[in-house]
């Protein structure tokens, strides 16, 4: 932490800053510039509220130096974390595709979607039982009934299930029925929910708030990690910008930035960023090319009857095409996307696996 004094700050004002730093158990370090005096604070600044210094007379501003997250930080945990979801490794060489409908609507819809995504190579099934909606008048999900259908779909297909938890009181049911607990963008700073999710031992898919910085995302991960749950998967899903032709703006740089700052796996949600079907496959390709550890995408067998977000849902045939493209992109950067389980023996991919470039290392 660096305290910058105002131009013309008096010796007495500087003295009071130094005294306060010492009283709080830290070590001050004085440096006089041509125009201003700055005072370094030596110690673990994460436990030091900068407001204590900002209020002192003669202080212009206080600049933090350390990153505020520690458990989530690659500096303190250099190796990649790999989250194991019922045998599927997230954060390893394979880029994992999670797919399914926005909301669980009924048994037929869910099973049709689940079987389609499995057939084309998805490794996890997504589907919402509790839906956060801006309007109190909109469809809010099937609730516990939706969770039961997700469990049936999982038994049928063998795909582990990821579903969103909106409220602490729903957490026990979600822990019972699902394999990955999703924390949605609107709850990224619902600290109470983060703490409770940190106390269970299920993998968590933590979505970036649509107007949050990456540092805020990592601080929310820190909440979960600090309570003992180390299985956190970060998810970039688009941020709010002034652009109107997309629902949100996919921040593809989030992938390499997060991989550099943190050891946690990072997946990309192209559906919510796009808002329209025609963009989803393109954004998924960009995400994989940028080094994402996976993609979470919405697929609906009959989008024209979807109860929410039909406009961004892929048809099973769109999903198949996207998966073929993602396999080519993944190979080009030395990674892979799972083949369709029906595929014949996967012909030895020619060039890319032998690529000498470990592109992930760059991020």
Residues 288-347 that bind its own copies (CB under 8 A): 288-291, 303-311, 313, 321, 324-325, 328-329, 331-336
The beta strand positions in 34-95, using DSSP E, are 37-42, 59-63, 83-85, 88-90
**What is the rounded end-to-end Cα distance, in angstroms, of the chain?**
27
* Cβ–Cβ under 8 Å, residues 197 and 207: no
Smallest gap from residue 323 Cβ to its own copies (A): 12
In angstroms, the CA 140 to CA 135 distance is 9
Pick from 12, 136, 155, 345: which binds its own copies (CB under 8 A)? Answer: 136
Interacting residues with its own copies between 191 and 230 (CB under 8 A): 191-193, 195, 210-216, 219, 222-223, 226-227
Residue closer to its own copies, measured from CB, 83 or 313: 313
Q: Which of positions 112-131 make contact with its own copies (CB under 8 A)?
A: none
Least distance CB 124 / its own copies (angstroms): 21
The answer to whether the beta carbons of residues 201 and 231 sit under 8 Å apart is yes
Contact code string over 141-170 relative to its own copies, x by CB under 8 A = -------------------------xxxx-
Q: Say whether residue 246 binds its own copies (CB under 8 A).
A: yes
> Count of residues binding its own copies (CB under 8 A)?
133
Does 79 participate in binding its own copies (rule CB under 8 A)? Answer: no
Minimum gap (Å) between residue 152 Cβ and its own copies: 26
We find the least distance from the C-beta atom of residue 276 to its own copies, in angstroms, to be 8
Among 54, 106, 108, 176, the residue binding its own copies under the rule CB under 8 A is 54
Find the binder of its own copies among 10, 31, 84, 201 (CB under 8 A). Answer: 31
Contact 234, 258 (CB under 8 A): yes
Task: Give 34-39 contacts, CB < 8 A, sequence gap 24+.
Answer: 35/7, 36/4, 36/5, 36/6, 36/7, 36/9, 36/60, 37/5, 37/9, 38/2, 38/3, 38/4, 38/5, 39/2, 39/3, 39/5, 39/14
């Amino acid at each position: 932490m660096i305290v910058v004094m105002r131009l013309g700050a008096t010796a007495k004002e500087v003295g009071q800053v130094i005294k306060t730093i010492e009283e709080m158990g830290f070590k001050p370090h004085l440096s006089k510039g041509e125009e201003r005096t700055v005072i370094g604070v030596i110690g673990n600044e994460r436990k030091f509220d900068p407001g204590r210094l900002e209020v002192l007379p003669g202080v212009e501003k206080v600049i933090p130096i350390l990153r505020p997250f520690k458990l989530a930080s690659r500096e303190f945990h250099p190796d990649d974390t790999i989250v194991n979801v019922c045998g599927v490794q997230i954060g390893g060489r394979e880029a994992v595709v999670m797919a399914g409908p926005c909301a669980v609507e009924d048994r037929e819809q869910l099973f049709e979607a689940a079987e389609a995504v499995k057939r084309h190579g998805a490794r996890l099934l997504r589907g919402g039982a509790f839906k956060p909606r801006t309007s109190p008048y909109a469809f809010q999900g099937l609730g516990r009934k939706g969770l039961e259908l997700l469990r049936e779909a999982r038994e049928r297909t063998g795909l582990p299930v990821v579903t969103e938890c909106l409220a602490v009181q729903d957490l026990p049911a979600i822990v019972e029925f699902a394999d990955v607990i999703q924390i949605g963008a609107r709850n990224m700073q619902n600290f109470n929910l983060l703490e409770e999710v940190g106390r269970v031992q299920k993998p968590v898919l933590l979505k970036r708030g649509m107007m949050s910085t990456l540092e805020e995302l990592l601080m929310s991960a820190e909440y979960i990690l600090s309570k003992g749950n180390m299985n956190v998967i970060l998810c970039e899903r688009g941020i709010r910008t002034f652009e109107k032709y997309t629902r949100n703006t996919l921040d593809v740089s989030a992938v390499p930035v997060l991989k550099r700052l943190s050891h946690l796996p990072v997946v990309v949600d192209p559906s919510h960023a796009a808002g329209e079907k025609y963009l989803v496959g393109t954004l998924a390709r960009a995400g994989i090319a940028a080094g994402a550890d996976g993609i979470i995408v919405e697929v609906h067998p009959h989008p024209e009857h979807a109860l929410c977000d039909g406009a961004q849902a892929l048809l099973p045939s769109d999903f198949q095409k996207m998966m073929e493209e993602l396999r080519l992109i993944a190979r080009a950067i030395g990674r892979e996307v799972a083949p369709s389980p029906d595929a014949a023996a996967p012909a030895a991919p020619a060039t890319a696996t032998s690529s000498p470039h470990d592109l992930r290392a760059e991020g």
